[in-house]
Amino acid sequence: MRRLFDFVVSTLVGGLLILVPLYLAVLLLLKAMASLGGVVAPLARLLPEWLPAAQVLSIALVLVVAFLIGVALRTGVGRLVRERIETSFFERIPGYALLRSLTQQLAGQGKENVWKPALVEIEEALVPAFIIEVHDDGRFTVFVPSVPTPLAGAVYVLTPERVHPLDVPFTEGVKPLSRWGSGCKELVAAMKA
C-alpha cells in the first residue's frame, strides 16, 4: 500500500511540475494578448473581417517584444540585470533553480558539473543518479530520481568511491528513468568505459 501511495504522489508531483509552469505560461500569454487588444485594434480594422486580426497581431506583438527582450538579455548589461533579478526574486520561488538548471541541461547549455549523470552505490545496488555538486572534501551531493517521474526523488551526500560519474549527456542519463529502467545497460557500459 505504501508503494502505491508513493507512486501516486511522485507521479502527481512530477506531472504538476510540468503542467503548472506550462499553464502559467499560456495564461500569461493570453493575458498579454488581451491587454494588447486595444493597441492593435486600429491596425486590425484595416485587415479583412474573416481574419482574426486582433488576435494574430496581439500574439505577433507579444512574440516581437519577447524577442527584443531576449536580444537585450544577450548584452552585458542585460545579463547583469537578469542575474540580479534571478538572485533577488526568482531564486526565492521554490523549485525555480531546479527547473532552470534542468531546462539548461535539456537545452545543452548547462554547466558540465551540475546534473551530471552517474551511477551511485546505494546498499548493494547501482542506482541511476545525477551529480548536483561536489564538496570541498570530495563528497558528492547526488539526486536519485524516482521512476518513471525523474523530477521527484531523493537527495544523498555520498563518498567518492560510491559515485561513478558517466561520460554521457544529460538526456541519455534521463532516458532509462522514463522507460522503467530500460537502457540502464548503456549506463553501466559507460561506467565501465
| Spatial distance between the Cα atoms of 142 and 157, rounded to a whole number of angstroms | 6
Q: Is residue 129 part of a domain?
A: yes
Verify that 31 and 99 share a domain, yes or no.
yes
| Spatial distance between the Cα atoms of 44 and 52, rounded to a whole number of angstroms | 8
Verify that 33 and 125 share a domain, yes or no.
no
- Supply the range of the domain harboring residue 7: 2-106
Across the range 59-65, mean pLDDT stands at 85
Verify that 88 and 128 share a domain, yes or no.
no
The fraction of the chain above a pLDDT of 70, given in percent, is 77
Q: Is residue 111 part of a domain?
A: no
Q: Is residue 42 part of a domain?
A: yes
Verify that 82 and 160 share a domain, yes or no.
no
Residue 80 pLDDT > 60: yes
Span 85-131, pLDDT tens digits:
877 777 777 666 666 666 665 555 555 556 788 888 888 888 888 88
State how many domains the chain has. Answer: 2
Q: Domain with 177 in it: what CATH number?
A: 2.30.30
Span 121-163, pLDDT tens digits:
888 888 888 888 889 898 888 888 877 666 678 888 998 888 8
Q: Is residue 29 part of a domain?
A: yes
153 DSSP β-pair partners: 145
Please give the pLDDT value at position 99. Answer: 65
Q: Are 115 and 165 in contact (CB under 8 A)?
A: no
**Distance from CA of residue 52 to its chain's centroid?**
34
Q: Out of 82, 106, 130, pick the residue that ends a domain.
A: 106
Verify that 56 and 13 share a domain, yes or no.
yes
Verify that 87 and 154 share a domain, yes or no.
no
Please give the pLDDT value at position 83. Answer: 82
- The pLDDT mean for the chain works out to 77
Please give the pLDDT value at position 38. Answer: 78
Instruction: Look up the pTM and report it.
Output: 0.48
Q: Please count the CA atoms within 13 angstroms of the CA of 172 that sit on its side-chain side.
A: 15
| Spatial distance between the Cα atoms of 86 and 97, rounded to a whole number of angstroms | 9
Please give the pLDDT value at position 95. Answer: 62
Between 105 and 15, whose confidence is greater?
15
The fraction of the chain above a pLDDT of 90, given in percent, is 1
